[in-house]
Structure 1
């Protein structure tokens, strides 16, 4: 297993399967979509597999995720504890967005406000995050969830690194938006579009 920083090139001739890890508000969906575009590989937002209307959990979400990652090429968010081991085993490059907690929390607050006023990106399943005032009454409010999952996600990635069960996995750790931007700016030489049949 190889752990890289924002200035170190990914030592692979062709990246076909890439996942992005991070707590809510880290920008993992945005980055996964951008990497999908740059690599020319399919991307489906994880939430599309997981939630139906009214935040119901789709009964076949695990099968859908596993079918996606069994494909030849893809980009995806590194989510779903029940499928995470299989996802990690199929991943060539895991981009770890290890941002400061204040940054991810502030982004979640801003994103929630934008969506409440109809200016943010839509949530799959037609769902809507609760208003900010329910932060005090809803233990599963997205802002509280982002705060809780920040340390959990860091520990989860560190466990993958410590166990070293995936010796071919490349992990890129990016801390803060400046490092993300710097990594993307340098990535043209090692994140080249895949040359393969249409995967869409």
Structure 2
């Protein structure tokens, strides 16, 4: 299985991708970890060819779970994927999540990719996840729906989650498709 998890900033893509990868015992390819270099250097801006090369190398594997909405590699990742999980939550849910995540990361000084840490002053930037999630939510939702309606995506098994209560059912369905026999209790222990 090759699974891509998409959704706007703050939807919980990485968290869910990690859960799926652990459940199915598949490698997790975190696109943010490939993109963000030391000092918040954005590889997609500074060296897009290198970003594409690294992602292409990572998805050569027979099975994986990845997460992210990186346009430069979407046309490479989606055709190779077998399943797509779309976290299509309402804007208030997204905003609550991204604000909470940002707050805790800043307070706890959580190390992210390549030693980067979120800082309070970063919230003033237009590209900060809080502002980005608010400004791109509607467009991202429309674009994802339009893209999934295209013939090029007909091969994908799509799970469109509109509520977080649908996560466990999706995990169960993916586990079943992969031939993994787990009870809810066993799945809960793996979280």
Please give the TM-score of this superposition, normalised by the length of structure 1.
0.80
CA-atom RMSD in angstroms: 1.9
Residues 26 and 99 in structure 1, CA contact (< 8 A), matched pair in contact too: yes
How many residues align? The count is 175
Higher relative contact order (CA 8 A, sep 6+): 1
Tell me by how many angstroms 1:21 deviates: 0.5
Structure 2 unaligned blocks of 5 or more: 181-191
The separation in 2 between residues aligned to 1:84 and 1:171, in whole angstroms, is 15
Q: Deviations over 1:103-145 (max 9, x none)?
A: 111111111111112175x3112222241x764x422222001
Q: After the TM superposition, list the runs of 4 or more consecutive aligned residues in structure 1 that deviate by more than 4 angstroms.
A: none
The separation in 2 between residues aligned to 1:61 and 1:53, in whole angstroms, is 14
The separation in 2 between residues aligned to 1:184 and 1:162, in whole angstroms, is 23
Tell me by how many angstroms 1:152 deviates: 2.3
The separation in 2 between residues aligned to 1:129 and 1:49, in whole angstroms, is 17
1:143 aligns with 2:130: yes
Partner of 1:42: 27
The separation in 2 between residues aligned to 1:152 and 1:192, in whole angstroms, is 36
1:71 aligns with 2:56: no
Q: Which structure carries more helix by proportion? A: 2
The separation in 2 between residues aligned to 1:163 and 1:109, in whole angstroms, is 33
1:69 to 1:103, Cα distance in 2 relative to 1, 3 A: same
The separation in 1 between residues aligned to 2:122 and 2:36, in whole angstroms, is 21
The separation in 2 between residues aligned to 1:146 and 1:22, in whole angstroms, is 10
Structure 1 unaligned blocks of 5 or more: 1-15, 194-200
